[in-house]
Amino acid sequence: MHTDRRTFIGGSDARIIMGDDQDQLIRLWREKRGEALPLDLSNDLIVQLGSITEDLNRTWYERTSGHTVGDIQRKVRHPIHKWMGATLDGRIQQTGAVYEAKFMLPWNFSEEAAADKHMAQLQHNMWVIAARSAVLSIITGGGKWVEITVHADPLYQHLLLTAEKKFWRCVQTGETPHLFGIETPRPRLEAIKIVDMASSNSWAELAAIYVGTREAHANHEVAKAELKKLVPEDAKEAIGHGIKAKRSKSGAISFEALPVEVAHASVQ
């Protein structure tokens, strides 16, 4: 098992490669080169909780979503980059999405933080099997279950592939790797939350302006559309009653309010 993991970069490795801990990166490099044994995680309670709740997590996801998870613990390699691999928690049969089960602590938990923490692993696994999306199925220590959908991000995956190529080259040559050092973009998450903004003063102020000006804005748009119809087709400009309509070379008509003295000036 240890020898097998030395032959490829997996999803959990991607998180370290795209992370900000140089010591972890060096340790991973030494493991891949066979100079150090992988960390013994048998005494890591959080890791063990994640392992022991995987079956429950998957069952809960299937029951709640109505989807079926297949390819459980399937080991796959990228068809071209053979040094890229993944051990899948599963793949959703109805959509082809990557399925990833996680256990997370409830303190300061948020969907955004969870997605950010596991983004490299998800994007890596999506790239390996050419999936267009992934689902994080999370059980928290607070008795909460959360589903997060993440879509494949071409820019993120390009940066990820670049960083992994550099790291793998270091594994092969013995050159010491360094952190990638670039702020990766935040891939798009599926919007699933309903947020109550009643406690926001800024929201209240802007909402009042929006409600108060909505009818005036609608009238403004109707008047502008009707004014455009009144501008003669051979007119470059049309002026009167405090406004000027101007036709661009492409034929588009724009309006501007005139200063009082110009508005009352005669038109030649």
Residue 67 per-residue DSSP state: -
Instruction: Say whether both 164 and 239 belong to one domain.
Output: no
Classified as helix, coil or strand, 122 is helix
Does 145 share its domain with 80?
Answer: yes
Decide if 36 is inside a domain. yes
Q: Are both 215 and 139 inside the same structural domain? A: no
pTM score above 0.75: no
Q: What is the DSSP string of 160-218?
A: HHHHHHHHHHHHHH-PPP---------PPBPP------TT-HHHHHHHHHHHHHHHHHH
Q: What local confidence, expressed as pLDDT, does residue 134 receive?
A: 94
Let me know if residue 181 belongs to a domain: no
Q: What is the pLDDT of residues 122-174, one digit of tens each?
A: 999 999 999 999 999 998 877 888 888 999 999 999 999 999 999 999 999 99
Packing angle, helices 22-32 and 154-173, rounded to 10? 60
CATH number at residue 99: 3.90.320.10
* Residues pairing with 247 in the sheet: 253
Same domain, 60 and 108: yes
Say how many domains are in the chain.
3
* Residue 118 and residue 152 in one domain: yes
Locate all alpha helices (DSSP H) within 33-176, ordered by sequence: 45-52, 54-65, 111-129, 154-173
Shared domain for 214 and 109, answered yes or no, is no
194-213 confidence digits (pLDDT tens)? 678 888 888 899 899 989 99
Confidence of residue 191 (pLDDT cuts 50, 70, 90): low
Whether residue 87 is found in the same domain as residue 67: yes
Q: Does residue 179 form part of some domain?
A: no
Q: How buried is residue 71: exposed, middle or buried, by Cβ count under 10 Å (0-12/13-18/19+)?
A: middle
Is residue 95 in a domain? yes
The mean pLDDT value for 95-107 works out to 89
Give yes or no: residues 53 and 119 share one domain.
yes
| Coil vs helix vs strand at 219 | helix
Identify whether 150 is part of a domain.
yes
Within its chain, how far is the Cα of 266 from the centroid? Answer: 58
* Same domain for 21 and 118: yes
Residues 139 and 213 grouped into a single domain: no
Residue 104 token pair: 């997370």
- Full residue range of the structural domain in which residue 107 is found: 2-173
Asked if residue 243 and residue 221 are part of one domain, the reply reads no
